[in-house]
């Protein structure tokens, strides 16, 4: 499960953070919040179109779905909410937790 989450953050990273902050904003339409919830349920659900037991194919369907639907949902967010969500994502990624250690 942790490996899947790490892969998700690497492949979608910033867009996922923007969608997260947008979903937490009260100005985001309910349809977008429900779409993001459905996407999260599908990703963490053991039931997939292609089972994860098939090493590469099982992951490709998850990553493809995320790579297509996260930007699609983000484009539907109202501009005022989106700018606030980008600010939240910028603050998140500027924290030391996400920076590489250069020592």
Q: CB of 25 within 8 A of CB of 79?
A: no
The CA distance from 7 to 66, in Å, is 11
Count of domains in the chain? 1
Write out the two tokens for 83: 């700018």
Please give the mean pLDDT across all residues of the chain.
Answer: 82
What's the residue count for the chain? 103
pLDDT at 11 > cutoff 60: no
pLDDT at 23 > cutoff 60: yes
44 in a structural domain: yes
- DSSP per position, 64-96: HHHHHHHHHHHHTS-HHHHHHHHHHHHHHHHSG
Q: What is the pLDDT of residues 49-85, one digit of tens each?
A: 777 677 777 777 777 888 889 989 999 999 999 999 9
Report the percentage of the chain scoring pLDDT > 90.
Answer: 41
The mean-pLDDT minimum among 5-14, 39-48, 50-59, 75-84 falls in 5-14
14 in a structural domain: yes
Q: Which residues form the domain of 33?
A: 2-98
103 in a structural domain: no
- DSSP per position, 4-30: HHHHHHHHHHHHHHHHHHHHHSTTS-H
7 in a structural domain: yes
């Amino acid at each position: 499960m942790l490996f899947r989450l790490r892969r998700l953050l690497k492949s979608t990273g910033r867009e996922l953070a923007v969608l997260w902050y947008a979903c937490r904003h009260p100005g985001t339409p309910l349809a977008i919040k429900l779409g993001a919830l459905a996407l999260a349920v599908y990703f963490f659900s053991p039931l997939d179109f292609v089972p994860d037991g098939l090493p590469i194919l099982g992951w490709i369907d998850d990553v493809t779905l995320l790579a297509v639907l996260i930007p699609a949902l983000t484009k539907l967010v109202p501009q005022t909410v989106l700018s606030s969500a980008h600010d939240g994502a910028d603050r998140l990624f500027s924290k030391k937790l996400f920076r590489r250690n250069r020592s």
